[in-house]
Structure 1
Amino acid sequence: MINVVGLGYIGLPTALMFAAHGVEVVGTDYNKELVDTLNEGKTTFEEDGLDELFQEAVSKGIRFSHEYQSTDMYIVAVPTPYDKASKKVDASYVVKAVQNVMSVCPKGATVVIESTVSPGTINKYVRPIIESDGFTIGEDINLVHAPERIIPGNMVYELKHNSRTIGADSLEIGEKVKALYSSFCQGEIVVTDIRTAEMTKVVENTFRDINIAFANELAKICRSDNMDVYEIIRIANKHPRVNILTPGPGVGGHCISVDPWFLVGDYPGLANIILAARKINDGMPDFVLERIHNIMKENNMTDVGRVGLYGLTYKENVDDTRESPTLQMLESMERHLCGGQIKVYDPYVKKDLVPNQYHDLDSFLADVDFVVLLVGHDEIRENMDKLKGKVVLDTRHICFLDGTYRL
């Protein structure tokens, strides 16, 4: 039996996938309301294919509990934020989860950490916990790192088809865990050591962050000299070895916007390009605010209450708002005491998350004259005609109405 610890955006789909493929699974989370919701037969966030996977897993006998289980296999998939002061990984959730596992696990158990961590985190934080409980790693307890590699909006597909990395102290244990993931994973599964597995996951997201930063910096350069960044990127990308990304309002989510800070915090003075990329991407929400201000002046608009922000999630067609550029913008406005009565709407965010939040597109559009497109949800792509006659700032390059402003 596998005890999956942490039933959020990563842990829940992983637990369901194992169960749907015939593995006995108990999912554990400290959040009583979350566990109760799952036991009522309902998923806790929106994701393409998740409800179907949930029903299949339930039919195969998956269980959900507040309690940690005594078993021979644990998968820890809890959050790993970063400390905004030190820029280092906050391993407290992992530490607490492993401590709880140690209180119930038998000798011979394998503990798999799926949470993304900076290189050396498992050596620094996890091994000492296991050893302090009197276990000998490699004899009494096996320790493995198998970092997740999925993204909201495409989780179910990517769980099956993405390649995986298994970091283990011994090849034998690595191959054992590889066989377990092979129950559903059709991608290549590479077995390596733990520290390499830690580093490769952080490097993947850092690479993406740097490439996004180049596109965003290019947008700022072109804006300063009245050039069309999108036309420049379109032409440049015709070169067979060039693939510039599309600029946007910032970087959100719990991977690309967080993981590079681990390297900045752990390797100060060495992670210089990484630090510069983080600063560029973190600065984009303020750049968008500046564009809003200038466009309002150009159109003789003075009432921020007639401005509407479309999109609260960090990417299209998901309900995940973690580190979203829109929330970063609103936080920046609050810091500068210029929040006013700006209006916000997102079809995927059902609960009131911020002031002046709408839950219906038509009502939202009826109350604004200036729409800032911050997320490219299918809903707005299919309703562009409703933006006619309004001032539009398109930060996602999805609106092609005459007169549309861009980054």
Structure 2
Amino acid sequence: MINVIGLGYIGLPTALMFAANGIKTVGTDYNYGLVNTLQKKQLPFEEDGLNIIFSDALSQNNITFSTEYAIEDIYIVAVPTPYDKKTKKVDAKYIINAVRTILKVCPQNAIIVIESTVSPGTIDQHVRPLIHNANKDNIHLVHAPERIIPGNMLAELQNNPRTIGADDPVIGERIKTLYTSFCKGKITVTDIRTAEMSKVVENSFRDINIAFANELAKICHESGLDVYEIIKIANMHPRVNILSPGPGVGGHCISVDPWFLVGDYPGLANIILAARKINDSMPEYVLERISEIMKKHNISTVEKIGLYGLTYKENVNDTRESPTLQLLEKMKKHLAFGIKVYDPYIKDSIVENQYLDLDNFLNDIDLVVIMTAHDELKNNLNKFKNKIILDTRNCCCLKNTYKL
């Protein structure tokens, strides 16, 4: 049996995937409400196919949920790893707390697998001393960073390559065998620090690519050029793959992990820092574009402006580091209040002036800013045809549509 610690966007699908594929699993989370929901056989968030593996895991009696840590041979830690906004370094407090509790209950020769994304050296600096101080030097450490994204979690859990970092190659191979219960992708066994660095490098690369696209968008707007056409043509080159610009970078990976390298290697992570600054500037740039369009169409108040989309990506209910939330914070600094917001995936009001019905939202605005390209929008473009549109996701070609 295994004990998965942390039942959020990463931990819960991982626990259910193990259980649905024949591994006895205990899912643990300190959140009593979350555990109670799962014990009632209800899922706390939407994800395509998650209900199917939830049902499979329950039907096989391979999954239980608890607020208590179990006594098992293998622990998989999938807790949040935010960053300190002042130092830009990883905040490892959730991992530290989880490992401390594991050490109180785990048997001799247990294996602790850290799935949470961390900066290189975090396990050496924060986790290994806990084991030494607890006089449990026979505990084995492994780092198996997750590689999934909301909206396509199950497919990526099954098909994405994985990296297993371990002190002992034999232990690494044992954990590799565990993950092959559901993972069809190539699994590479390496050392812990290499595994830590590889995950952060992956997300930093994507952040830099997005920043390049966003900088191109600003340059092309200044020059009166179509950035999307230019990227399309450039990408015809066999060795060029520019991503699309957007209103900012959200989620708990690309918008967070690069900061780990900036914080740990100041003066060296210069391109990474520049990319972070560019991507963090995009909500402010969207505000500038809104102001330009308002002046052009004689719109005098932000109360006639609506933001479509609160989530950081399409067709999910995940608002972590959402560009829309970042934009709303920018507006508060400008003392600009009254802008309206709508998202079909957010069922409860989480911000001011949030609408829960698309038609009511559209009836009260003149200018709609597309922040997230949900399928609902694409399937109902006819409802937007009489609106002025700022399309930050390049998903709309109606009349009176402006791009970044």
Structure 1 length normalisation: TM-score? 0.98
Partner SS state of residue 111, structure 2: strand
In structure 1, runs of 5+ residues without a counterpart are none
Residue 345 of structure 1: how far off its partner (Å): 0.3
Partner SS state of residue 315, structure 1: coil
Residue 403 of structure 1: how far off its partner (Å): 2.2
Partner SS state of residue 290, structure 1: helix
Q: Which residue in the other structure is 1:293 paired with?
A: 291
**Identical columns (%):** 68
Q: Which residue in the other structure is 1:105 paired with?
A: 106
| Alignment partner of 1:398 is 2:395 | yes
Q: Which residue in the other structure is 1:26 paired with?
A: 26
Amino acid at match of 1:355: E
Q: Which residue in the other structure is 2:343 paired with?
A: 346
Cα distance in structure 1, aligned partners of 2:53 and 2:362: 36
Q: Residue deviations 1:316-352, cap 9 Å, x none?
A: 00000000000000011112211x2110000001111
Partner SS state of residue 154, structure 2: helix
Q: Which residue in the other structure is 2:16 paired with?
A: 16
Amino acid at match of 1:270: L
Residue 33 of structure 1: how far off its partner (Å): 0.3
Q: Which residue in the other structure is 1:49 paired with?
A: 49
Q: Which residue in the other structure is 2:281 paired with?
A: 283
Q: Which residue in the other structure is 1:237 paired with?
A: 235
Partner SS state of residue 105, structure 2: coil
| Alignment partner of 1:176 is 2:177 | no
Residue 45 of structure 1: how far off its partner (Å): 0.7
| Alignment partner of 1:379 is 2:376 | yes
* Equivalent of 2:219 in 218, 221, 234: 221
Residue 231 of structure 1: how far off its partner (Å): 1.3
Residue 240 of structure 1: how far off its partner (Å): 1.6
Amino acid at match of 1:342: I
Cα distance in structure 1, aligned partners of 2:76 and 2:267: 34
Q: Which residue in the other structure is 1:312 paired with?
A: 310
Q: Which residue in the other structure is 1:271 paired with?
A: 269
Q: Which residue in the other structure is 2:188 paired with?
A: 190
**Root mean square deviation, CA, Å:** 0.6
Cα distance in structure 2, aligned partners of 1:2 and 1:193: 22
Contact 2:307 2:339 in 1 (8 A): yes
Q: Which residue in the other structure is 1:303 paired with?
A: 301
Amino acid at match of 2:268: L
Partner SS state of residue 354, structure 1: coil
Q: Residue deviations 1:266-318, cap 9 Å, x none?
A: 00000000000000000000000010011001100012111100000000000
* Superposition pairs of residues 58-69 of structure 1, within 5 angstroms: 58-61=58-61, 62-69=63-70
Residue 241 of structure 1: how far off its partner (Å): 1.4
Partner SS state of residue 341, structure 2: strand
Q: Which residue in the other structure is 2:90 paired with?
A: 89
Q: Residue deviations 1:64-120, cap 9 Å, x none?
A: 000001111100000000000000000000000000100111111000000000000
Cα distance in structure 2, aligned partners of 1:11 and 1:60: 19
Cα distance in structure 2, aligned partners of 1:399 and 1:103: 55
Residue 30 of structure 1: how far off its partner (Å): 0.4
Q: Which residue in the other structure is 2:361 paired with?
A: 364
Contact 2:310 2:325 in 1 (8 A): yes
Contact 2:387 2:400 in 1 (8 A): no
Amino acid at match of 2:74: M
Q: Which residue in the other structure is 1:73 paired with?
A: 74
Cα distance in structure 1, aligned partners of 2:134 and 2:236: 59
Q: Residue deviations 1:351-376, cap 9 Å, x none?
A: 11100111111111111111000000
In structure 2, runs of 5+ residues without a counterpart are none
Cα distance in structure 1, aligned partners of 2:35 and 2:334: 39
Cα distance in structure 1, aligned partners of 2:168 and 2:93: 26
